[in-house]
Structure 1
Amino acid sequence: MAAPPCDSSAHRAFDFWLGEWNVHTPDGKLAGTNRIVSEYNGCVLHERYDTGRGYSGESLNTYDAGRKVWHQTWVDTTGTLLLLEGGLRNGSMVLEGQTTGADAKLTRHRITWTPNSDGSVRQLWESSEGNGPWSVAFDGRYSRK
């Protein structure tokens, strides 16, 4: 009997993000809650984020075995569509992509999820205008509910 299609270690590389989370900013303020579940026979991680203050969004995350790359599609209440790709780097999941604003301005995005020894996860979202320097767009610590 063949192994399930999404049962490889590469498919499980982002499983550290699964769970029900409170997300706090570096100063300790609650930024929102996040729920990441495994769906479609373990082939998809489905994220649902909510600030409780009118902003929410969700993502679908999957490992593309043919290209050996992780892919995330993020959508939210502001109309943002963010497509990210990447993979594990030194134990962290690093996904990158870009958006083009209504003003035709290009913004690069790099999001890094790092599992911590206490079971929490740090999400560091950096962005850059064009080819400019990276700046922190969001820095969150995920702690289990």
Structure 2
Amino acid sequence: MIATFASLLILQAASAQPQPASPPSPPNGCTGEHYREFDFWLGEWDVYRAGTETLVAHSLIEKLYAGCAVRENWMPLKGAGGGSLNGYDPQSGGWKQTWIGSSPGPVYFTGGATDGKMVLTGRWKGSGPKGEDGLTRMTYSKLPDGAVRQHGEFSADHGLTWQTTFDLIYRPHKEGP
């Protein structure tokens, strides 16, 4: 009887304890127009050197985290892959990209949408045509046929002059034979 009474007292004390608050409702996500500025790049792509039929990579571009991020999974046919995480920053009013690839350390880009294109610029160690350090500017643009062009340029003089270092065309992925 004493054991039963003690059990009842313990149960009563436990039920009197304040219950933890229910978890907060998830946010509505990133649904404003700025968060959709890079959506033209979403998809599963076969990537070619511009002006050629030379396939150089496959790339999967996904929208994640309640629409707040765009993630690239870069899968080249030769060499190591890499990826980027992109997001609109409402505090700065621009976009930020972090690229991590086969070279040590991340590369950070900033920029934004201009005339329907996404332009991102960052300091990328060793990215010059002769392996020199400098700025890399990437311009992503949707082409009339639904493909996306990624035009990369390099500047060794802090953006005064630019030279093309890569020019890629992302075409919708087609299953092989």
Query: In structure 1, what is the equivalent of residue 139 of structure 2?
Result: 112
Task: Kindly provide the amino acid, as one letter, of the partner of residue 29 in structure 1.
Answer: T
Pick aligned residue for 2:43 from 11, 14, 19: 19
Question: Deviations for 1:45-85, whole angstroms, at most 9, x for unmatched residues?
Answer: 11000112122110000000111110000010122521111
Structure 2, unaligned runs of 5 or more:
1-26, 127-131
Name whichever of 113-122 and 125-134 sits farther off.
125-134
Q: Structure 2: how far apart are the matches of 1:99 and 1:20?
A: 26
Aligned to 1:42: 67
1:136 aligned residue? 164
Change (3 A) 1:75 1:8: same
* Secondary structure in structure 1 of the residue aligned to 2:32: coil
**Aligned-partner Cα distance in 1 for 2:80–2:134:** 21
Larger radius of gyration: 2
User: Is the contact made by 1:106 and 1:130 (CA closer than 8 Å) also made in structure 2?
Assistant: no
TM-score normalised per structure 1: 0.90
Q: 2:89 aligns with which of 60, 64, 81?
A: 64
Structure 1 gap segments, 5+ residues each: none
Identity %: 35
**Number of residue pairs matched?**
142
- Please state whether the residue corresponding to 2:40 is helix, strand or coil: helix
Q: Higher helix proportion, which one?
A: 2
More strand by percentage: 1
2:57 corresponds to: 32
Aligned to 1:8: 32
TM-score normalised to structure 2 length: 0.74
